[in-house]
Amino acid sequence: MADTLVIVESPAKAKTIGKFLGSKYKVVASNGHVRDLPKSTLGVDPEKKFKPKYITLRGRGDVLETIRREAKDAKRVLLATDPDREGEAISWHLAEILSLDVKDKCRIEFNEITSNAVKNSIKHPRTIDMHLVDAQQARRVLDRLVGYKISPILWHKVQKGLSAGRVQSVATRIICDREEEINEFVPEEYWTIVAKLNGAKTFETKYFGEQGKKRDVHTEAEATEIKKRVEKAEFTVTECKTAERRKHAPAPFTTSGLQQEASRKLGFTTKRTMMVAQQLYEGVELGKRGPVGLITYIRTDSVRVASEAQEAARAFIGQTFGKAYVPEKPNIYKGRRGAQDAHEAIRPTDLGNDPKTLKEHLSPEQWKLYKLIYERFVASQMAEQVQSVTSVTFDANGATFKSSGARTLFDGYTVLYTESKDEEDSEVNLPAIAENDRFTAKSIDAQQRFTQPPSRYTEASLVRALEEKGIGRPSTYAPTISTIIDRGYVARDKKLLAPTELGFIVTNLMKKSFPDIVDVAFTAKMEEELDEVEEGTIEWTSLMESFYGPFMETVQKADEQVEKVKIPDEVSDVVCDKCGAMMVYKTGRFGKFLACPNFPACRNAKPIIEKLDVPCPKCGSAVLKRRSKKGNTFYGCERYPECDFTSWNPLVAQKCPKCGGYMVQKRGRNGTFVACADPKCSYILRDKKKKDEE
Q: CA distances (Å), 618 to each of 524, 642, 650, 661, in order?
A: 58, 11, 15, 11
Q: Give the H or E element holding residue 222.
A: helix 220-230
SS3 for 274-329 is HHHHHHHHHCEECHHHCEECCECCCCCCCCCCCHHHHHHHHHHHHHHHCHHHCCCC
- Whether 55 and 82 have beta carbons less than 8 Å apart is answered as no
- Whether 519 and 554 have beta carbons less than 8 Å apart is answered as no
Q: Where are the alpha helices (DSSP H) in 472-618?
A: 477-486, 501-513, 520-535, 540-561
In this structure, what DSSP letter does residue 427 have?
-
Q: In this structure, are strands 25-29 and 4-8 parallel, antiparallel, or unpaired?
A: parallel
Single-letter code of the amino acid located at 308: E
Sheet strands side by side (includes 684-685): 651-655, 662-668, 671-676, 684-685
| Cross-strand partners of 244 | 388
The one catalytic residue among 25, 281, 297, 325: 297
Nearest alpha-carbon partner for 646 in 666, 667, 675, 626:
626
3-state secondary structure of 71: helix
Nearest alpha-carbon partner for 552 in 213, 85, 46:
46
Q: What are φ and ψ of residue 24, in 5° steps?
A: -80, -5
Q: Give the H or E element holding residue 56.
A: strand 55-56
Nearest alpha-carbon partner for 604 in 627, 588, 626, 581:
581
DSSP assignment of 104-171 equals SS-B---SS-SHHHHHHHHHS-B---HHHHHHHHHHHHHHHHHHHHHHHHHHHHT-TT----TTHHHH
Counting beta carbons within 10 angstroms of the beta carbon of residue 375, is it exposed (0 to 12), middle (13 to 18) or buried (19 or more)? middle
Counting beta carbons within 10 angstroms of the beta carbon of residue 679, is it exposed (0 to 12), middle (13 to 18) or buried (19 or more)? exposed
- Whether 235 and 443 have beta carbons less than 8 Å apart is answered as no
Nearest alpha-carbon partner for 419 in 299, 308, 258:
258
- Whether 217 and 191 have beta carbons less than 8 Å apart is answered as yes
Nearest alpha-carbon partner for 143 in 57, 52, 60, 55:
52
Is 585 a residue of the active site?
A: no
Q: How many other CB atoms are found less than 10 A from the CB of residue 215?
A: 14
Q: Give the H or E element holding residue 449.
A: strand 441-450
- Whether 604 and 579 have beta carbons less than 8 Å apart is answered as yes
Q: Report d(CA 223, CA 231) in Å as an integer.
A: 12
Measured over all CA atoms, what is the biggest interatomic distance in the chain, rounded to whole angstroms? Answer: 94
Q: What are φ and ψ of residue 213, in 5° steps?
A: -100, 140
- Whether 674 and 654 have beta carbons less than 8 Å apart is answered as yes
Catalytic amino acids?
A: 297
